[in-house]
Amino acid sequence: MLRPSLPAALVLALFAACQLPPQTESAAPPKPAFDSGNWRSLFDGKSLSGWTTKGGRYDGKAKWSVEDGALVGREGPNKAGGLIYTKDRYRSFAMTLETRIDYPFDSGVFVHMRPEAKGLQVTLDHRPGGEIAGIYSEGWLHHNPDGEKLFPKNEWNLVELRVTGLTPRVEVWLNGSKSCDWTRAAGLPGFALDGLIGLQVHGNRGDPATRTASFRNVRILELPTVDPALFAIDAKGQLQATDKAKEAGWSNLLANGTQDWSFVGGALSDACRINDGVLEFPKKGPGGYLRTKESYRDFELRLDFKIARMANSGLFLRGDVEKGNPAFSGCEVQIVDDFNWERVTRTKLKPTQFTGSLYAALAPGDREALLPIGRWNSYRVLYVGSQLRVELNGRVLYDVDTKTLKAEPPFVQRAGEGFIGLQRHAPKQVEDEVYASFRNIWLRPIKREQ
């Protein structure tokens, strides 16, 4: 991406920053601004597996290679620049990497990259007049002229990012010191909700092949996408309610572990367990479903789920204790391995059986919303009267008056109040020891005006 040079007048410091002492290769690494035991590596230090130079917004012919355990980018033929992207898309996350950028050289970290919409760039413009940890997207969104002070020349520098919120907040730490905190204004058109993460060679400069941008120890921690006015996110990805959320009536359905739940189909202790705040369904155990002891009528619900290959589960809403299968006494929002199910079982799923479908009643309106196996997904459900809205990872699957659906039994004959449930159904093809995990199950009752 081409950017104008920073005018001399824009030297106003937006964030106070201290000058770091010179580092050497043997110096102790800076202490990370945040850490967690749940990081996932994006770069194996040996290959370009998991990365691609196509599919974002700024594809190009920059040269990318692996050298001495680092992902290295340099200009391609005819001064070509370009990005290398993760093959998977991300929305809310923390990310850490170490980078060594030769001086002068222009690079950056891009988030929410899609061909059809704008993403955001955290600038790593390591040149005279350039900016480190500014925010750019086809024009400047946030200047950060003091970032360079936290980014020593010709050294490995630790860069940490957090991208969170419904309209993203981007925070950047350089070598453990916070350098940027910017939130995109709500309602700005043309921006992607999520997308690929990219590393940049700017190009168009005629830099010699010896001048490069190098990256190593690239890790990611996926985080829930929530309204920051309602929830804070801790280092483990768990939500903590703000005073505003508490006043609105939000409650954590896993606050007491499984004490507020019962299991239909066997012993609760055999069906599930709590592991570091996460509800897990082991492969071994009875079939059936977990249900809340309390009933709910009108509510807003949000939860995160992660499934293993060939998993089959579901989210029950308004299940009736007295009328058997909650998928039909109430309703079920499906959770299944869309990616492998048909191939492994040699069966064909109906449109109303894929993840996000209102089971046997309504197909999801977006089949691209589900994230790959092993990654956290988020459901948001708003159920008031007969109106049901379901979102998966921020994408609306349907917003429908259930009374209008052709279903058996008709929704007018189903319960108008009931439990929240999670289906426990592990097919024999599941190989992982835990086949479904759930966290951050929060619910807000809604009082309907009479």
Q: What is the DSSP string of 271-283?
A: H-EEETTEEEEES
23: left (phi over 0), alpha (psi -120 to 50) or beta: beta
Between 62 and 237, name the one with better pLDDT: 62
**72: pLDDT strictly greater than 50:** yes
Task: Write the DSSP symbol of residue 21.
Answer: P
The residue among 347 and 23 whose pLDDT is bigger is 347
| Percent of the chain's residues with pLDDT above 70 | 92
pLDDT at 4 over 60: no
pLDDT greater than 60 at residue 21: no
Read off the pLDDT of each residue in 101-118 and give the average, rounded to a whole number: 97
Tell me: pLDDT of 440 over 90. yes
pLDDT of residue 236: 84
Instruction: Specify the pLDDT at position 7.
Output: 37
Output the average pLDDT for the chain.
92
115 has pLDDT over 90:
yes
pLDDT of residue 19: 33
* Lowest-pLDDT range of 25-29, 118-122, 274-278: 25-29
Here the tokens at position 153 are 């020349």
> Is the confidence at residue 320, as pLDDT, over 90?
yes
User: In whole angstroms, what is the distance from residue 257 CA to residue 108 CA?
Assistant: 42
Residue 368 has pLDDT above 70, yes or no: yes
pLDDT of residue 17 exceeding 50: no
- Give just the sign of the alpha carbon dihedral 334, 336, 341, 345: negative
Give the per-residue pLDDT at 10.
Answer: 31
**What mean pLDDT do residues 382-401 have?**
98
Distance separating alpha carbons of residues 231 and 253, to the nearest angstrom: 15
In this predicted model, which residue has the larger pLDDT, 245 or 35?
245
**Range scoring the smallest mean pLDDT among 128-142, 226-240, 323-337, 400-414:** 226-240
Residue 9 has pLDDT above 90, yes or no: no
Q: What is the mean pLDDT of residues 166-172?
A: 96
**Residue among 315, 305, 292 at smallest CA distance from 388:** 315
Confidence of residue 60 (pLDDT cuts 50, 70, 90): very high
- The string of pLDDT tens digits covering residues 181-193 is 999 999 899 999 9
pLDDT at 22 over 60: no
Q: Which percentage of the chain shows pLDDT scores above 90?
A: 88
Q: What predicted TM-score, i.e. pTM, was given to this entire model?
A: 0.86
Look at residue 92 and tell me whether its pLDDT is greater than 90: yes
14 has pLDDT over 90: no
The per-residue pLDDT for 29 is 55
pLDDT over 90 (residue 117): yes
User: From edge to edge, which strands make up the β-sheet containing 140-142?
Assistant: 51-52, 82-90, 195-201, 105-113, 120-126, 132-136, 140-142
| pLDDT confidence of residue 426 | 75
pLDDT tens-digit series, residues 219-272:
999 999 999 999 999 888 999 999 999 999 999 999 999 999 999 999 999 999
pLDDT of the residue at 251: 98
pLDDT, one tens digit per residue, over 350-361 is 999 999 999 999
Is the pLDDT confidence value at 306 over 50? yes
* Max Cα–Cα distance, the chain, nearest Å: 74
404: Cβ contacts below 8 Å, ≥ 6 apart: none
Beta strand 434-445 with 251-252: parallel, antiparallel or unpaired?
antiparallel
First-to-last C-alpha distance (Å) of the chain: 55
Taking the alpha carbons of 373, 234, 442, 274 in that order, is the dihedral positive or negative?
A: positive
- Domains defined for the chain, CATH in brackets: 40-222 (2.60.120.560), 231-445 (2.60.120.560)
Pairing of strands 331-336, 312-319: antiparallel
pLDDT at 30: 62
